[in-house]
Amino acid sequence: MGMNARHLDFTLPLLLLLGAATACEDSRLNQGKAEISVAPAEVFFKTLNVGEQDRQVVTVSNLGTASLQIDGITIDGDAVFSLDSWAGQPLQAGDFPLGLAPPGGLEPSSADLVLLFSAGQLGDYQGELVLECNDEDEGTVSVPLRASCAVPDIEVAPAMLDFGGVGLNSSSALTLTIGNSGQSDLLVGEEDLSLASGAADSPFLWIMTDMRVATGQSQAVQVIYAPDSVRLDPQTHQPLPDEDTLL
């Protein structure tokens, strides 16, 4: 009985010492290593009209215990993609290497990389963002890029606005809905709408601001009929209806 007690007293401290030694050894293994993290894992740009641009952000972070050094950032694939800025500053070829400190210190451990998509012509585009760094386990990180340049498709409803009878020097308003069934945003400015008659004194007018209608969406335009005179048929001397076409 006494021997068993002495044996237990001896073994317990030995186990504790072994456990402490293992923990210290693991800590030494994790010291001094940079670890890169890039988000998102894939970049999807907005579908654009010809001549438009879109910017998307990729966040690069250091999750390790040593400084992360970015030795190079390039884009492979279609030439519609380009590097725009790093941490809010324009990115130049001579800026490398770029550094990110370990988390928890005074220096930043992450930065935003802004990418630019310039839609020059219709089509679907693909590319790959490539980052070279001093992460021992992941020295090269690749991020797929996806983008499209397409056209909108305008839809207008209803096909005709019938204001009915409206008294002189009064007005009536109806709603015209402009929708987009295309693959890119529909841009409609106030100057894009006009009357087929071109009459400066037309009793028809509309109220709208410049609009951007996303795919599958619609916006309303208020059209007003406000007659201030009556046109008569020269033969019957009966009032003629006011008619026009909104283009």
**67-109: per-residue pLDDT in tens?**
999 999 999 999 999 999 999 999 887 889 999 999 999 999 9
Residues 239 and 171: their CA atoms lie apart, in Å, by: 17
Q: 23 or 203: which carries more pLDDT confidence?
A: 203
If we measure between CA atoms, which residue out of 230, 225, 226, 227 comes closest to residue 240?
Answer: 230
Contact assessment for residue 216 and residue 154, using Cβ atoms and an 8 Å cutoff: no
CATH architecture of 36-149: Sandwich (2.60)
Q: 50 or 7: which carries more pLDDT confidence?
A: 50
Q: pLDDT band for position 13 (50/70/90)?
A: very low
Residues in contact with 124: Cβ distance below 8 Å, sequence separation at least 6, in sequence order:
146, 147, 148
Which helix (H) or strand (E) segment holds residue 50: the answer is none
pTM here? 0.66
Domain-by-domain residue ranges, the chain? 36-149, 154-225
Q: Is the pLDDT of residue 3 over 90?
A: no
Residues 182 and 15: their CA atoms lie apart, in Å, by: 70
